[in-house]
Amino acid sequence: MVKSPFDALNASDAHMQASPHVEATLRAEVRARAARRPRRWPSTALAIAASLAVLIGASSWLLRDAGRGDLPTPQGPDAAGEPLTGFLPLDYSRSPAGPTHIVRLEVPRTALASFGLLSMDSTGSPESDTVLADVIIGDDGLARAVRFVRPAAH
């Protein structure tokens, strides 16, 4: 049944569509937009940051109780190892820190992925479940930043 005098024209136009190169151009734009998006920290990174804060806070309290005023700071080439990243800001990085300290910790290897560092096999033995990290903490015991470190060769 013919509903409109333009039905034949509509049927004839049914094949009309944009050329494949138009779609390819637009897809490239979509991918570029995805690549340009600022990476948001996944919740696991925030959880690790919170765990670090608790751990470091507890360490600070225990050390102060033991009569030591300062937290251990990596010293010397062996202690420092080789930083593999710059310091990456943590959740409390915007809070005023006052005097800060650096402590070295072993953190789960999954922490790398949480910071978007998926292929850093050079952080130590690939079989190891942990990697070394230097963490900047404030006097309040909150972690401000973290960097990953390759252990010094022995």
Partner 1 sequence: MLEQARRGDEQAFSTLYARYQRSIYRYGAYMCGREAADDVVQDTFLAVLRQAGRHDAPRASLGGYLFGIARHVVIKRLAVKGDASLTEQASELDARASPEPEAFDALVRAQTIEAVRAAIHDLPTPYREAIVLCELQELPYADAAALMQVPIGTVRSRLHRARALLASTLVASATLQEG
To the nearest whole angstrom, how small is the minimum distance from the Cβ of residue 40 to partner 1? 11
- Binding segment for partner 1 (CB under 8 A), chosen from 7-15, 42-50, 56-64, 146-154, is 7-15
Q: Does 68 bind partner 1 (CB under 8 A)?
A: no
Q: Does 42 bind partner 1 (CB under 8 A)?
A: no
To the nearest whole angstrom, how small is the minimum distance from the Cβ of residue 114 to partner 1? 21
Please state, in angstroms and rounded to a whole number, the distance separating the CA atoms of residues 92 and 48.
12
Binding mask 8-37 for partner 1 (x = CB under 8 A): xxx-xx--xxxx-xxx-xxx-xxxxxxxxx
Q: Please say which residue, 14 or 118, places its beta carbon nearer to partner 1.
A: 14
Burial code (b: 16+ CB inside 10 Å, e: under 16) for 87-121 equals bbebbbbeeebeeebbbbbebebebbebbeeeebe
Amino acid at 29: E
**What is the 3 state secondary structure string of 100-130?**
EEEEEEEEECHHHHHCCCCCCHHHCCCCCCE
Which residues are near partner 1 by CB under 8 A?
A: 2, 4-6, 8-10, 12-13, 16-19, 21-23, 25-27, 29-37
